[in-house]
Chain A
């Protein structure tokens, strides 16, 4: 019986990890789809969100202030980055963008080290959610993890509604499909880019803030998330939000269950899947043929 309970907990962990991955990779996929920018610094934005949560929680004693701070601060920071730096790189080659965003990784890590330190920190789960929910007599699950699940689902639903139902959303979809189309339709591409980059940054930082109590906050924590987010973006299909959603859940599940039950093969399996998608379904695993 305990094995089944353990499996159930792993599945929930997988879903929750997958939803966090979705928050990060949805921004990455939009930034690539709309702006054609390979943003290697996206993982660092996640790291900044986590550290923001740590600082806010230490200053105010509660994580709740950190979530709006990550969203608003992220939107502002993203808009600023796009206007000051990324704008200049629109016409440049992919390789120059790789170089630029790699430099940003170094600068963000160094700024973090200068402002704080290089230690591991834990962030306390908010007191209101610091308990376990009894699901069955043998199985209970952390209330905070359930809250993270709920918040991620709400954000995902809001995003789908925005992208599918609004005029700006349809412009984003058009741009992700075909960047030149936006100019032909008479949409202000420059404002669209700022919006997409700001939203992507806000989502990555929100994900970092939500993840902070689940794992320690530590230097270079964005690194692993960056690469796994690229896996999600590729498997979901470049520029596709719904593709990123299903791919994030799939990768979250494979990674969590794999690490729990077949630790020798989990890491490799994800990249075998990624290579297979790239070679046989380059438009994404969930794209309509």
Chain B
């Protein structure tokens, strides 16, 4: 997995500026759309650390996303009222990371197809815990109190008018920090070790690396990042339901990662925006949104072997 070149990062920074300037030229609807794409990008980035980083294809990622979202709801019950985002965001990340820490040692005993199936099993287990018990409010989901955007008595008042702008900028901030953190992480010794595992796990083991511990660390960090994405989704929608944890959502994140390109760290960001855009265009030109999505994915898998990030302009 490559990290973007200085020129690539400059292009990403310009795109981020264009998003930050959206309140000046875009409608609230389009700002909400950009927020949706950015949350999908956070979620897909968390999966990219596993897939592109260490070659671990997991179907449990949505479970950590959902736990991060439900943590907001459960925390509001404990604190008896809307908590501050300064409390709820770390709480979502730690609870999702903790879940990954509990599942990881089991799931990581397997590799390849068996890892895919083991993570599917654990993901579905958590899905049914929220679906079949009253822990999170039952199968139909619940409306939740949004965390307060502020702390120590100072808070930003959310209104119908300023909400799209505030969420747009907040999501942009979280996505930027997450991307920068992963960019840094992949350049550390830890990141290089993960890439080594992806290239040849047995060789890394023979060279004396504690492969299992490295993979567990990646699994936990990815779980915590998915939890953050889930937190932002809960904040945006003020609603959580068990479907957030379902395998379908994991598959969708995988789709975004593959569409964007697993060979580049920024692939999922491109993939998430492309996927959101394809759905939106599909919806506006035809009644048949999924037809357009299906055809684009089919074309991508037949023609684009390295995803969108792998497209090279002829020079």
> Interface residues, chain A, CB within 8 Å of chain B?
38, 40, 88, 94-96, 98-100, 102-107, 109-110, 113-114, 223, 227, 230-231, 234, 238, 263-268, 271-272, 274-275, 278-279, 282
Contacts and interface: CB of A to CB of B under 8 A. Distances in A.
Contacts of A231: 121
A238 B112 CA distance: 13
A267 B123 CA distance: 12
A94 B112 CA distance: 9
B25 interface: no
B77 interface: no
A95 B258 contact: yes
Given A98-B254, A230-B117, A279-B118, 10 more contacts: A94-B112, A94-B116, A95-B254, A95-B262, A107-B294, A110-B288, A268-B128, A272-B121, A274-B121, A278-B117
Contacts of B112: 94
Given A94-B113, A113-B288, A267-B131, A275 B294 contact: no
Contacts of A271: 121-122, 124-125, 128
Contact of A99 (B124, B133, B291, B301): B301
Tell me which of B57, B133, B298 has the highest count of chain A C-beta atoms within 10 A of its own C-beta.
B298
Interface in B7-33: none
B258 A275 contact: no
The 6 closest A-B pairs by CB, nearest first: A267-B128, A106-B294, A103-B297, A107-B294, A110-B291, A275-B121
B254 to A, nearest CB: 7
Nearest to B289: A110
Chief secondary structure at chain B's binding surface = helix
Given A102-B255, A266-B132, A282-B110, A227 B298 contact: no
B297 A99 contact: yes
Contact of A103 (B106, B110, B116, B298): B298
Interface in B282-303: 288, 290-291, 293-295, 297-298, 300-302
A107 B294 CA distance: 5
B251 interface: yes
B294 A110 contact: yes
Given A99-B300, A113-B288, A278-B118, A268 B106 contact: no
B44 to A, nearest CB: 14
Contact of B132 (A223, A230, A263): A263
Contacts of A107: 290-291, 294-295, 298
Contacts of A95: 51, 57, 254, 258, 262
Contacts of B109: 279
Interface in B244-266: 247-248, 251, 254-255, 258-259, 262
Nearest to A104: B294
A229 to B, nearest CB: 12
B293 A272 contact: no
Query: What bracket does the count of chain B residues touching chain A fall in?
Result: 35 or more
B214 to A, nearest CB: 20
Most B-side CB within 10 Å, residue of A88, A227, A272, A282: A227
Contacts of A40: 251
Contacts of B87: none
27 contacts: A38-B113, A38-B116, A94-B116, A95-B258, A98-B258, A99-B258, A102-B251, A102-B255, A103-B293, A103-B294, A106-B293, A106-B297, A107-B290, A107-B298, A223-B248, A227-B120, A230-B117, A264-B132, A267-B127, A268-B129, A271-B124, A271-B128, A272-B121, A274-B117, A275-B122, A279-B109, A279-B110
Contacts of B121: 231, 234, 271-272, 274-275, 278
Contacts of B262: 95
B184 interface: no
Given A106-B290, A265-B132, A100 B298 contact: yes
Interface string B100-112: 0000001001101
B114 interface: yes
Contacts of B124: 227, 267, 271
B291 A278 contact: no
A60 B131 CA distance: 40
A237 to B, nearest CB: 12
Nearest to B113: A94
Contacts of B288: 110, 113-114
Contacts of A99: 255, 258-259, 297, 300-301
Contacts of A238: 113
A109 B290 contact: yes
A271 B57 CA distance: 19
A273 to B, nearest CB: 9
Contacts of B298: 100, 103-104, 107
Nearest to B259: A99
Contacts of A268: 125, 128-129, 132
A144 to B, nearest CB: 29
Contacts of A234: 117, 121
Contacts of A279: 106, 109-110, 118
A117 to B, nearest CB: 12
A88 B127 CA distance: 35
Contacts of A102: 251, 255, 297
